[in-house]
Structure formats: structure tokens, C-alpha cells
């Protein structure tokens, strides 16, 4: 089947197109939609489409489009866009004003748009090309050395003044990087003249020194090299450590499979995404870090086509191969949303696991850390829920390391208890802090059926039990059809999930009261009319 990659910056149009494609069963091609061309080269490399189709708006963002042997075409939303697009000498699929016409046009072979009715006029070069030509005329001064090498720092006996260089900021003030740290200065002339609009681009090109304040290293007191080394090592350790933000990370884990991790994680994420925080809904994301056999996608009834962890990790791999360090790879909120999928009913953002186990083998631990760090620091989420595998792979350890809350899932099963106890021992050997772990007992059944009581499980583990969820056959059905019970707020399972929600949000108003237990004699001799 022919694979087509379509790119348009209008997100609503892309969503309508994806929905129409999903419903239509007579298509003889596979369609993937993107709402941004920011990472198009990397996605093309991993997806390897047979045809790339660009909207007129997207086509204007570059002066040329070349993906080797992969053909490129464009479409216009109206006659005017179709005519203007012909100047780029790229074939077209025609006018695509809505999802239906787009799907029909994608069946056709691209064609050259006739220019017979277009007034002959010089082809104006795109603005990006103009900027490139003007930039070539600039003979910039090579960047000055700002930060000494570590070996040079060790050899310093006397304080050394690090040459200053002014960097323009967004408020048109200048910031000076010097041995005295960052200081505000009046705007002044830069080392080289820069055309308006290109300051940031050239700044990124010529300045790449880390933002370390070496005034603590080089001082008049002539600190010893040992102290300097300790300082540098401390700074590197800070770079590697997870950063905390206003986002709460909840990681669901069990060392034993089949206990309901994915179900609990998905139901919790959907429930939270439906909650109002003041006058707005909570912004929630679920990350499937069971990268070998993750099935959050199926639990939420999402199509296998679409964005997943593999594509994002592939771009990060390429960036690191080009020389970027992990702490230099940052994404904006908008860019992050481009790597995620969204459940329209709940508003939940989803990062699915790779489609196959084979796809997961090439995902590095660095990529896993970069992705989760960016989601936490730059995603703008209130809560991130991480599903994990019953293992200690890099993906699972990363999710546990970033967790503000670890939900240790248990059932009335001796083997599960032993596995989770072994997991605890392993993490304690690694000096991993488990103090933020809480117990959730799932699929509770009568003791005469399981041979183990809930009380015995609570006594076996040193963690507070925040939720006890009874077995309910409806959960199995909901999982199989991809219809979370969180959409049914009065369902017994959903009411029991409220206790986890109450703990995560630190809001007792969500808490579900435990039903009062009555003795055998109390049930036999209950007074008439008593509730």
C-alpha cells in the first residue's frame, strides 16, 4: 500500500482529515498527517513515505523541498493558493478545501498547474532565501573564547578575567558574560553587525558555552584545584539530575505482570483529564514507558497509525549524532504537542509506546530521559502519568526516577508480593528513595477465594495503602473495547479510583467513603427501616 505523508499547519484541518480517513474504508493508500514541518526531515527518514504532500502555507516556509527520490506535491485551499503555489515548480494534487476533497485528490497522480492565466512577472524569492543571501555578505568576527577549558582552570594561580561579550536579549538590553557572572549593561554595539531578525540565529551559531558561573571557581582567594574539580563535578551532576517543576509525575509500577498497571494508569489519566482546576481543565499526559509491549494505545482505543515514542526518539538520536549533548536538547510546548496524540473526548495527551518490540530496541536511555525531562519541564502539564513494564529496563527506571508518586500495584497473590518485595530490595541497594511510594491493591476478591487477605498485604509492605479496588468484570470489558470507565463517574470502579485521584491532587473532596462493614449478627438482626 502506498504511504502518503501530508503536512499542514492548521491542526483542526489535520484532525478532521485523520477522522475522515479512519472512517473511510475504501482507501488504497496509508495516510499520516503532520501539523508542523519542524521535524519533517527526521520523520520522513523514519516513515519513508512514497509521496509527501504539503499545503501552500507549509510550502512557503522553505525555498526548496528535496527528499531524494521521494516525490513532493502541494495543495491549495482555494484557487488563489493553487495559482501562487505553481511558482514553486512543484506538482499539485489540486484544491483541497475540506477533508473529503483532500482524500479524493490524494488518489490522483500529482500534476503541473497551468500558468497561462497568471500574469508574467519576476518570481520573487521567498523571504528565507533573501535572508540567506544577506547573511552571506556578513563577514562576522570569530567568537571570542569565553569559558576556559577545565585543564586551564586547574592551572590558574591568580584570578583570570574572562573576556566579556554582549548578548542581546528580548527586551533589547545587553547581558554580559564575564568572570563576575551575569550583569545588566546598557545596550551597545555588538562585535559584528547583525541584520534585524537574525540575532538569535547567529547567537546560537557562535555562542555555545555552558551557563556556568566560574566566579565561584576563580577568586582572589586562589582556591585549590581540588575545590575547582569538586565544583565542576557538582555542576555536571546538577545537569544530569531531574529538574522539578509544577508538574506532578505519577508512575504506576509492579514487578509482576497481569496486575492491571495499564488499566489503572489509563483510567487515572482519563479521570484527571476530565477534572476542572478552578475555571480550566487539568492538563494531563500519559506516557507509555512499557516500551517493549506497551498497550496504552489499545486501552484508549487509539489507531496504531500516528505519532509514537519511536519517531521522537529517532529525532533525538539524530541530534545527538550531530553533536548535541543531552542537556542541550530542548523542545517548546508547541513542539512537544506535535509529538503527542490527543484523545478528543477527554482532552488527554498520549505518548504511545513503539508499535513493535523491534522498534524499541533502538531507543537509547538518553532519549528516554530527554523526552520525559522535556515533558516535565516544558510541556505545561499539571500531571504526567507513566505506565511501565514489569522490569527494570531504562524506560522503567527513568519513569521511577522522575516520579513524585510511585503507585506500587498489588493483588492478592503471593508471587506478586514476593516480586515486589524483591524489587524494593534491589532499589534500596541502589540507594533509591522509595519514601514517595504508595500501595494500591487491585482486583480484590474474598479471602476464601484467594487464600490471602487484604490486611496481610498491607502488613507485608511498609507503604500507606491509598486505594482498595474490588474486582469488577466491567473493567475487563472496558479494556477490551477501549472505553474507559472514567467516563462513567457513578460506576463502582470509578468511585474507588477517586481515592487515587484525591491523593494525587491532595484534595479530600474526591475521596470515596469506605462502606461500613457489618457483622453477621448485625446483618441478621438489622432493624426494619434502618439503612
Residues in the chain, total: 531
Question: 185-210 pLDDT, tens per residue?
Answer: 343 443 434 334 444 443 443 333 34
Among 83-87, 371-375, 472-476, which is the least confidently predicted range? 83-87
CA distance 369 to 377: 12
What are the residues facing 386 on neighbouring strands? 251, 287
| pLDDT for the residue numbered 515 | 57
Say which residue the cell 574539580 belongs to. Answer: 229
Q: Is the pLDDT of residue 517 over 50?
A: yes
Greatest mean pLDDT among 19-28, 92-101, 197-206, 380-389: 380-389
Percent of the chain with pLDDT over 90: 43
Cell of 441: 491493591
Burial status of residue 198 (CB atoms within 10 A of its CB: 0-12, 13-18, 19 or more): middle
Residue 108 binned pLDDT confidence (cut-offs 50, 70, 90):
confident
| pLDDT for the residue numbered 523 | 52
**Which phi and psi angles does 168 have, rounded to 5°?**
-75, 140
Count of Cβ atoms closer than 10 Å to residue 125 Cβ: 11
CB 49 within 8 A of CB 40: no
CA distance 217 to 156: 10
Q: How far is CA 206 from CA 176, 202, 323, 505, in A?
A: 15, 6, 15, 45
Task: State which CATH number among 3.90.1150.10, 3.40.50.970, 3.40.140.10, 3.40.50.2300 fits the domain covering 2-105.
Answer: 3.40.50.2300
Question: 318-331 pLDDT, tens per residue?
Answer: 999 999 999 899 99
CA distance 457 to 123: 76
Cell of 116: 497561462
Nearest residue to 349 via CA among 281, 431, 450: 281
Region 368-389: what's the mean pLDDT? 95
Q: What's the fold here for domain 248-252+260-405+472-516?
A: Rossmann fold (3.40.50)
Count of Cβ atoms closer than 10 Å to residue 336 Cβ: 21
Region 266-277: what's the mean pLDDT? 92
Using alpha carbons only, give the angle 247, 253, 255 rounded to the nearest 5 degrees: 160
State the chain's maximal CA–CA distance in angstroms: 98
| pLDDT for the residue numbered 360 | 82
CB 223 within 8 A of CB 357: no
Where are any strands of DSSP class E within 84-199? 92-95, 165-168, 174-178, 181-185
Chain-wide mean pLDDT for the chain?
A: 77
Q: Where is pLDDT greater, at 231 or 19?
A: 19
Cell of 429: 541497594
Q: Is the pLDDT of residue 479 over 50?
A: yes
Tell me, yes or no, if the two domains 2-105 and 248-252+260-405+472-516 fold the same way: yes
Nearest residue to 214 via CA among 265, 254, 275, 160: 160
Q: Is the pLDDT of residue 168 over 50?
A: no
What's the half-sphere exposure (Cβ side, CA atoms, 13 Å) at 334?
9
Q: Is the pLDDT of residue 511 over 70?
A: yes
Q: Where is pLDDT greater, at 13 or 114?
A: 13
Residue 41 binned pLDDT confidence (cut-offs 50, 70, 90):
confident
Say which residue the cell 468511585 belongs to. Answer: 495
Burial status of residue 378 (CB atoms within 10 A of its CB: 0-12, 13-18, 19 or more): middle
| pLDDT for the residue numbered 522 | 54
**Which phi and psi angles does 516 have, rounded to 5°?**
-70, 130
Region 417-440: what's the mean pLDDT? 91
CB 468 within 8 A of CB 496: yes
Task: Return the SS3 of 201.
Answer: helix
| pLDDT for the residue numbered 70 | 92
| pLDDT for the residue numbered 193 | 40
| pLDDT for the residue numbered 491 | 94
CA distance 201 to 204: 5
Nearest residue to 37 via CA among 69, 14, 18, 71: 14
CA distance 430 to 522: 51
CB 63 within 8 A of CB 37: no
- Three-state SS letters, 405-428: EEEEEECCCHHHHHHHHHHHHHHH
Count of Cβ atoms closer than 10 Å to residue 339 Cβ: 23
Region 144-172: what's the mean pLDDT? 42
- Domain extents for the chain? 2-105, 141-240, 248-252+260-405+472-516
Q: Is the pLDDT of residue 150 over 50?
A: no
Cell of 155: 592551572
Amino acid at each position: 500500500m502506498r504511504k502518503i505523508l501530508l503536512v499542514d499547519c492548521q491542526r483542526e484541518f489535520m484532525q478532521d482529515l485523520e477522522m475522515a480517513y479512519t472512517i473511510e474504508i475504501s482507501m488504497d493508500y496509508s495516510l499520516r498527517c503532520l501539523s508542523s514541518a519542524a521535524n519533517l526531515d527526521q520523520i520522513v527518514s523514519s516513515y519513508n513515505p512514497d509521496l509527501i504532500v504539503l499545503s501552500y502555507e507549509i510550502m512557503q516556509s522553505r525555498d526548496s523541498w528535496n527528499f531524494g527520490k521521494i516525490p513532493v506535491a502541494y495543495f491549495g485551499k482555494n484557487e488563489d493558493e493553487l495559482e501562487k503555489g505553481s511558482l514553486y515548480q512543484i506538482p499539485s494534487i489540486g484544491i483541497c478545501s475540506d477533508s473529503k476533497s483532500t482524500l479524493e485528490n490524494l488518489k490522483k497522480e500529482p500534476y503541473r498547474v497551468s500558468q497561462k492565466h497568471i500574469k508574467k512577472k519576476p518570481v520573487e524569492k521567498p523571504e528565507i532565501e533573501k535572508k540567506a543571501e544577506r547573511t552571506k555578505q556578513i563577514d562576522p568576527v570569530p567568537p571570542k573564547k569565553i569559558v576556559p577549558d577545565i585543564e586551564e582552570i586547574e592551572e590558574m594561580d591568580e584570578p583570570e578575567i574572562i573576556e566579556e561579550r554582549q548578548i542581546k536579549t528580548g527586551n533589547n538590553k545587553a547581558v554580559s558574560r564575564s568572570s563576575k557572572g551575569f550583569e545588566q549593561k546598557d545596550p551597545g554595539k555588538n562585535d559584528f553587525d547583525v541584520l534585524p531578525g537574525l540575532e538569535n540565529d547567529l547567537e546560537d551559531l557562535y555562542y555555545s558555552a555552558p551557563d556556568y558561573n566560574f566566579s565561584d571557581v576563580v577568586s582572589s582567594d586562589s582556591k585549590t584545584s581540588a575545590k575547582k574539580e569538586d565544583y565542576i563535578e557538582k555542576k555536571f551532576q546538577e545537569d544530569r539530575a531531574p529538574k522539578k517543576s509544577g508538574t506532578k509525575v505519577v508512575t504506576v509500577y509492579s514487578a509482576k505482570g497481569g496486575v492491571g498497571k495499564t488499566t489503572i494508569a489509563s483510567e487515572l489519566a482519563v479521570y484527571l483529564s476530565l477534572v476542572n482546576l478552578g475555571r480550566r481543565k487539568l492538563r494531563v499526559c500519559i506516557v507509555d514507558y512499557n516500551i517493549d509491549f506497551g498497550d496504552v494505545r489499545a486501552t484508549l482505543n487509539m489507531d496504531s497509525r500516528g505519532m509514537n515514542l519511536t519517531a521522537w526518539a529517532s529525532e533525538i538520536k539524530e541530534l545527538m549524532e550531530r553533536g548535541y549533548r543531552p542537556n542541550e536538547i530542548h523542545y517548546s510546548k508547541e513542539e512537544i504537542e506535535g509529538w503527542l496524540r490527543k484523545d478528543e473526548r477527554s482532552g488527554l495527551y498520549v505518548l504511545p509506546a513503539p508499535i513493535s518490540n523491534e522498534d524499541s530496541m533502538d531507543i537509547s536511555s538518553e532519549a528516554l530521559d530527554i523526552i520525559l525531562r522535556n515533558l516535565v519541564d516544558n510541556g505545561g502539564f499539571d500531571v504526567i502519568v507513566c505506565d511501565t513494564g514489569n522490569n527494570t529496563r531504562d524506560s522503567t527506571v527513568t519513569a521511577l526516577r522522575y516520579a513524585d508518586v510511585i503507585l506500587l500495584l498489588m493483588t492478592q497473590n503471593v508471587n506478586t508480593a514476593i516480586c515486589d518485595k524483591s524489587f524494593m530490595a534491589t532499589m534500596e541497594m541502589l540507594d533509591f528513595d522509595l519514601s514517595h511510594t504508595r500501595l494500591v491493591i487491585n482486583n480484590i476478591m474474598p479471602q476464601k477465594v484467594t487464600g490471602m487477605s487484604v490486611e496481610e498485604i498491607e502488613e507485608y509492605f511498609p507503604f500507606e495503602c491509598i486505594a482498595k479496588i474490588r474486582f469488577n468484570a466491567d473493567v475487563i470489558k472496558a479494556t477490551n473495547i477501549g472505553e474507559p470507565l472514567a467516563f462513567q463517574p457513578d460506576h463502582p470502579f470509578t468511585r474507588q479510583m477517586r481515592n487515587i485521584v484525591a491523593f494525587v491532587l491532595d484534595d479530600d473532596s474526591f475521596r470515596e467513603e469506605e462502606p461500613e462493614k457489618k457483622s453477621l449478627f448485625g446483618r441478621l438482626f438489622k432493624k426494619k427501616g434502618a439503612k
